[in-house]
Amino acid sequence: MADVDTQREAVLDALDNVAERLTAEKSYLTDLDSAIGDADHGSNMQRGFSKAAEKRDEFADMDPDDIVKTIGTTLISNVGGASGPLYGGSIMFASQELDGGITVETSVAFAEAYLDKVKDRGGAQVGSKTMVDALVPAVHTYKKSIEQDDLPPLEALAKAVDAAERGVQFTTPIKALKGRASFLDWRSVGHQDPGATSTLFIMEELLATAEEYLDGDVERDARAADAVRRDE
Amino acid sequence: MKKLINESGDVVDEMLDGMVAAHPELRRLDGTNVLVRGDAPVDGKVAVVSGGGSGHEPTHAGYLGEGMLDGAAAGEVFTSPTADQLNDMIQAVDAGEGVLCVVKNYEGDVMNFDTAAEMAGMEDVDVEQVVVNDDVAVEDSLYTSGRRGVAGTIFVHKCAGAKAAEGGDLGEVKAVAEKVIDNVRTMGMALTSCVTPEKGEPTFDLGEDEIELGIGIHGEPGTERADIMTADEITEHLTENVLDDLDVGEGEEVVTMVNGMGGTPLSELYIVNRKLQSMLDDRGIETWDAWVGDYMTSLDMMGCSVSVLRVDDELKDLLGAPAHTPALTVAEE
Same domain, B133 and B203: no
ipTM of this complex > 0.85?
Answer: no
pLDDT tens column, A52-74: 999 999 999 999 999 999 999 99
How far away is chain B from the Cα of A228, in angstroms, using its nearest Cα? 28
Is B333 buried (19+), middle (13-18) or exposed (0-12) by CB count in 10 A? exposed
Q: How many CB atoms lie within 10 A of CB A223?
A: 10
How far away is chain A from the Cα of B281, in angstroms, using its nearest Cα? 40
Alpha-helical runs (H) found in chain B? 11-22, 83-93, 107-122, 153-165, 170-182, 231-246, 266-282, 313-320
Q: How many domains does chain B have?
A: 2
Nearest 5°: phi and psi at B310?
Answer: -75, 130
Please answer whether residues A56 and A9 qualify as being in contact, where contact means their C-beta atoms are separated by less than 8 angstroms.
Answer: no
Q: Tell me what pLDDT residue A38 has.
A: 78
Residue B317 lies in a domain: no
Q: List the one residue out of B289, B291, B290, B284 whose CA is nearest residue B252.
A: B284
Q: List the one residue out of B307, B210, B325, B308 whose CA is nearest residue B261.
A: B307
Average pLDDT, chain B: 95
Q: What span, in angstroms and rounded, lies between the C-alpha atoms of B266 and A32? A: 45
Residue A121 lies in a domain: yes
Q: What's the domain range around B149? A: 9-182
Please answer whether residues A194 and A39 qualify as being in contact, where contact means their C-beta atoms are separated by less than 8 angstroms.
Answer: no
Please answer whether residues B269 and B295 qualify as being in contact, where contact means their C-beta atoms are separated by less than 8 angstroms.
Answer: no
Answer yes or no: do A122 and B111 touch at CB < 8 A. yes
Residue A63 lies in a domain: yes
Q: Which of B80, B84, B142 sits opposite A77 (nearest CB)?
A: B84
pLDDT band at A180 (very low <50, low <70, confident <90, very high): confident
Q: Give the CATH number for residue B258.
A: 3.30.1180.20
Residue where a domain terminates, one of B182, B207, B222: B182
Report how far apart, in Å, the C-alpha atoms of A8 and of each of A2, A59, A68, A231, B36 are: 10, 8, 10, 38, 39
For chain B, the 3-state helix, strand and coil shares in percent, each to the nearest 5, are 35, 25, 40
Residue B319 lies in a domain: no
Q: How many CB atoms lie within 10 A of CB A100?
A: 11
Same domain, B166 and B274: no
Give SS3 for B23: coil
Same domain, B164 and B45: yes
Q: What span, in angstroms and rounded, lies between the C-alpha atoms of A114 and A92? A: 9
- CB contacts, 8 Å: A92 with chain B: 115, 118-119
Does the annotation count B23 as an active-site position? Answer: no
Residue B114 lies in a domain: yes
Residue A46 lies in a domain: yes
Give SS3 for B271: helix
Q: How many domains does chain A have?
A: 1
Residue B4 lies in a domain: no
pTM (two decimals) = 0.88
Residue B210 lies in a domain: yes
pLDDT tens column, B159-202: 999 999 999 999 999 999 999 999 999 999 999 989 988 888 88
Q: What span, in angstroms and rounded, lies between the C-alpha atoms of B243 and B262? A: 24
Q: Tell me what pLDDT residue B223 has.
A: 80
- CB contacts, 8 Å: B141 with chain A: 183
Q: Give the CATH number for residue B102.
A: 3.40.50.10440
Same domain, B116 and B192: no
Same domain, B113 and B43: yes
* Nearby residues of B295 by Cβ (< 8 Å), 6 or more positions away: B58, B59, B151, B154, B257, B259, B260, B327, B328
Q: What span, in angstroms and rounded, lies between the C-alpha atoms of B85 and B92? A: 10
Residue B316 lies in a domain: no
pLDDT of residue B6 exceeding 90, the answer is yes
Q: List the one residue out of B140, B216, B148, B218 whose CA is nearest residue B184.
A: B148
Residue A77 lies in a domain: yes
Same domain, B41 and B137: yes
* Nearby residues of A227 by Cβ (< 8 Å), 6 or more positions away: A165, A169
Rg of chain A over all Cα atoms, to the nearest angstrom: 17
Answer yes or no: do B119 and A73 touch at CB < 8 A. yes
Same domain, B177 and B49: yes
Measure CA B8 to chain center: 24
Report how far apart, in Å, the C-alpha atoms of B190 and of each of B54, B58, B107, B266 are: 19, 19, 23, 15
Residue B283 lies in a domain: yes
Same domain, B20 and B105: yes
pLDDT tens column, A154-168: 999 999 999 999 999
Measure CA A75 to chain center: 13
pLDDT band at A175 (very low <50, low <70, confident <90, very high): very high
pLDDT tens column, B111-140: 999 999 999 998 999 999 999 999 998 776
* Helix A104-122 vs helix A132-147: crossing angle, to nearest 10: 150
Report how far apart, in Å, the C-alpha atoms of B228 and of each of A158, B9, B138, B207 are: 61, 35, 21, 10
Out of B48-52, B68-72, B222-226, pick the least confident: B222-226
Q: What's the domain range around A197? A: 4-227
Q: Tell me what pLDDT residue A53 has.
A: 97
Same domain, B13 and B153: yes
Same domain, B233 and B221: yes
Q: List the one residue out of A169, A170, A164 whose CA is nearest residue A220.
A: A164
Chain A residue closest in CA terms to B79: A81
Please answer whether residues A142 and A108 qualify as being in contact, where contact means their C-beta atoms are separated by less than 8 angstroms.
Answer: yes
* Helix A194-213 vs helix A26-36: crossing angle, to nearest 10: 150
Mutate to test the interface with B, among A121, A131, A180 (most CBs of B within 10 A): A121
Q: Tell me what pLDDT residue A231 has.
A: 44
Chain B residue closest in CA terms to A92: B119
For range B265-276, the mean pLDDT: 98
Answer yes or no: do B111 and A80 touch at CB < 8 A. no
A165, amino acid identity: E
Residue A53 lies in a domain: yes
Please answer whether residues B134 and B153 qualify as being in contact, where contact means their C-beta atoms are separated by less than 8 angstroms.
Answer: yes
Same domain, B72 and B215: no
Q: How many CA atoms lie within 13 A of B198 on its CB side?
A: 9
Q: Give the CATH number for residue A118.
A: 1.25.40.340
pLDDT of residue B107 exceeding 90, the answer is no
For range A72-99, the mean pLDDT: 94
Q: List the one residue out of B81, B91, B76 whose CA is nearest residue B123.
A: B91
Phi/psi region, residue A69 (left: phi>0; alpha: psi -120 to 50; beta: rest), is alpha
Give the rounded percent of residues in chain B with a pLDDT score beyond 90: 85
- CB contacts, 8 Å: B148 with chain A: none
Put simply, whether B84 touches A (Cβ < 8 Å) is yes
Q: Which of A85, A93, A183 sits opposite B112 (nearest CB)?
A: A85
Chain A interface, Cβ < 8 Å to B: 73, 76-78, 80-82, 84-86, 88-89, 92-93, 121-123, 178-180, 182-183
Q: Tell me what pLDDT residue A230 has.
A: 42
Same domain, B244 and B176: no
Mutate to test the interface with A, among B84, B91, B115 (most CBs of A within 10 A): B115
Q: List the one residue out of B281, B182, B273, B183 whose CA is nearest residue B235.
A: B273
3-state secondary structure B133-180: CCECCCCCECCECCCCCCCCHHHHHHHHHHHHHCCCCHHHHHHHHHHH
Q: Tell me what pLDDT residue A232 has.
A: 41
Answer yes or no: do B142 and A180 touch at CB < 8 A. yes
Answer yes or no: do A89 and B114 touch at CB < 8 A. yes
Residue A232 lies in a domain: no
- CB contacts, 8 Å: B79 with chain A: 80-81
Residue B324 lies in a domain: no
Report how far apart, in Å, the C-alpha atoms of B219 and of each of A60, B143, B222, B241, B330 are: 47, 11, 9, 20, 31
